[in-house]
Chains A and B, each alone.
Chain A
């Protein structure tokens, strides 16, 4: 039933519109209510009361980047597992075998990262 299919996605669009619209309306409403007299001292960056030193847009610990890379690999691979899980009933034992091989490769990747000390937070 294509009409029902589109109907469901229209509801999703409605939810997206409300999810974005709601904060915008609230921000606009608050703009009417709130006072507005900011001066230079008020708009300085908070740094525990001291004068802020430099900007915070600096180079950051590379460790986070390694986790991001690992995440990307694993997230894409888990995405492949979803259609497999849905179709498992129809494909049967052969699918199981294939998936064990797939997961073994994935686990080997994790093991490699583990031995390379990527998972160690230092």
Chain B
């Protein structure tokens, strides 16, 4: 029964993380664009997202008369639940994994791809042209980039010989972090992960200058908030997965630094990769749809296959 308490504490921590991430996102983006960012509510604007959350909870919810009401209501749940469920298999510290599944990585990939359905459901149910175009783009993009993501992760599975995320971390303690032998795989994985998360330069699903807000156009109030929450929670989950697969999870960078607990190292690495997309957002323009699709199919997928064959050869003969 201890585990129920732990999971509830974890849930509260994740819910507390999201406002923090939104605040950091806005502040960072402000600084990078020569602005101040939020600075009114509380010291340094720290309470800004709390105020926004309270506001959004009180907003009237408008469901368009022509919408598919039932689907419209449950779409944010379908989008949010997978982003939260994947945390079950992430190894936070040497003995802190909620569910130490043998097929951890496969579980992560399988569950994470469900959130695509939430996005499509939301866009379709709105019966709005902007929403539908956004949702169709989201579907095409998320399925296209899932293949290079999965193929790139296979390189790590080959090196570790296991799908269990704890075993993958332990395998890195015996050799080097997998980012070194899997540098090509890491680059492919990172690009595909950013596309999976719909962040700039791949944020065509909600391209605000052409599609209003994409699949979220008709959403308001608390349901809109859950789409946002899903986005930030998923960012952290993806940061955690990148840290686990390529940067040794809770391992310290050098054995001499082992006195700092594993969870600190894990959070440090995960947060770097969770906040990296904000930097890219300030740096890159948005890609075009045709560039986006051809990049996945003509570059990333063939490269991921090459990476897999090279890894297998290296493993068999070296």
| Chain A interface residues (CB < 8 Å from chain B) | 8-9, 11-12, 14-16, 18-20, 22-24, 26-27, 29-30, 33-38, 40, 42-48, 52, 55-57, 60-61, 63-64, 67-68, 70-71, 74-75, 78, 81-82, 85-86, 88-89, 92-93, 95-96, 99-100, 103, 106-107, 110, 113-114, 119-122
Contact = CB atoms under 8 A, between A and B. Distances in A.
B199 interface: no
Given A30-B61, A74-B301, A96-B312, A47 B128 contact: yes
26 contacts: A9-B99, A12-B85, A12-B99, A19-B85, A20-B77, A29-B222, A30-B57, A30-B58, A30-B221, A34-B221, A34-B222, A43-B65, A45-B64, A47-B129, A48-B212, A52-B66, A57-B132, A67-B140, A71-B147, A75-B146, A78-B151, A85-B157, A95-B312, A96-B312, A106-B305, A107-B302
Contact of B218 (A20, A45, A78, A106): A45
A interface majority secondary structure: helix
A96 B293 CA distance: 30
Given A18-B7, A86-B163, A99-B312, A44 B98 contact: no
Given A68-B143, A78-B150, A23 B77 contact: yes
Nearest to A74: B147
B20 interface: no
B244 interface: no
A74 to B, nearest CB: 5
Interface in B98-114: 98-101, 106-107
A29 to B, nearest CB: 7
A34 B59 contact: yes
Contact of B64 (A37, A44, A71, A88): A44
Contact of A15 (B77, B85, B146, B312): B85
Interface residues of B, number: 81
Given A78-B150, A86-B162, A88-B161, A110 B297 contact: yes
B61 A121 contact: no
Given A8-B101, A75-B143, A120-B290, 17 more contacts: A18-B84, A19-B83, A34-B60, A36-B61, A38-B62, A44-B65, A46-B64, A46-B128, A71-B144, A81-B154, A82-B163, A85-B161, A100-B312, A110-B301, A113-B297, A119-B297, A121-B293
Interface in B71-122: 73, 76-77, 80-85, 87-89, 98-101, 106-107
